[in-house]
Chains A and B, each alone.
Chain A
Amino acid sequence: MILAKVIGTVVTTIGNPHFKNRRLLVVQPLVMEGEKTDEDFIALDNTHAGIGDTVLVNREGGAARMVMDDPDAPVISVIVGIIDSIKIE
């Protein structure tokens, strides 16, 4: 799972039926100060996150299908939590 910030929303009228009633959000992974930024990607929202939220993103298909409770969902990245704060030693 990775930490990421929600930076955008995607609207798709024609889409996979397994995505119904869930939003697609564009997320940008967070990095430590001075490190190179990672590539952005699209994640399916399972937590009602919005633009500007810091979220926990699961980037593995098996876990994503488990979260969605749908064994045939074509999803890799799914947002599984909204982060309030983190402490780095």
Chain B
Amino acid sequence: MLFGRIKGNAVCTIKYPGTEGVKLLIVQPLDKHLEPVGPLQVVADTVHAGIGDLCVMVRSREASLAMPDEKFVPVDLATVGIVDDIEIRPDKDFDFTLKPGWNQFT
């Protein structure tokens, strides 16, 4: 699951059966620092997100499970939440490396 910033709408008149009425949005995937990662993508909206919103998205088969009605639809990226607030600690606060031997975390 990943962050994404909604950048626009995609209008599509002919759709696969089961996806009628699903809103499609253009989204920029983001990393933990909210920096863009990769190209713009199209996301199926299930939480009524709007342009400029920061969302949590889910990929692959699970995206179609996020759909409200029909669960077996050809969708591979869906919004599952609108972010109100995030708290991310700076990278320097943690050590993300493992060393040979014992690694004690608690």
Contacts and interface: CB of A to CB of B under 8 A. Distances in A.
A79 to B, nearest CB: 12
Contact of A86 (B3, B47, B93, B103): B103
Indicate the size class of the contact surface on chain B.
35 or more
Interface string A56-89: 0000010010000000111111000001111111
Given A51-B87, A85-B105, A30 B98 contact: yes
Main secondary structure of the interface of A (DSSP, over half): strand
Contacts, number: 138
B52 to A, nearest CB: 15
Indicate the size class of the contact surface on chain A.
35 or more
B82 interface: yes
B94 A87 contact: no
Interface of A: 3, 5, 7-16, 19, 24, 26, 28-35, 37, 39-44, 51-54, 61, 64, 72-77, 83-89
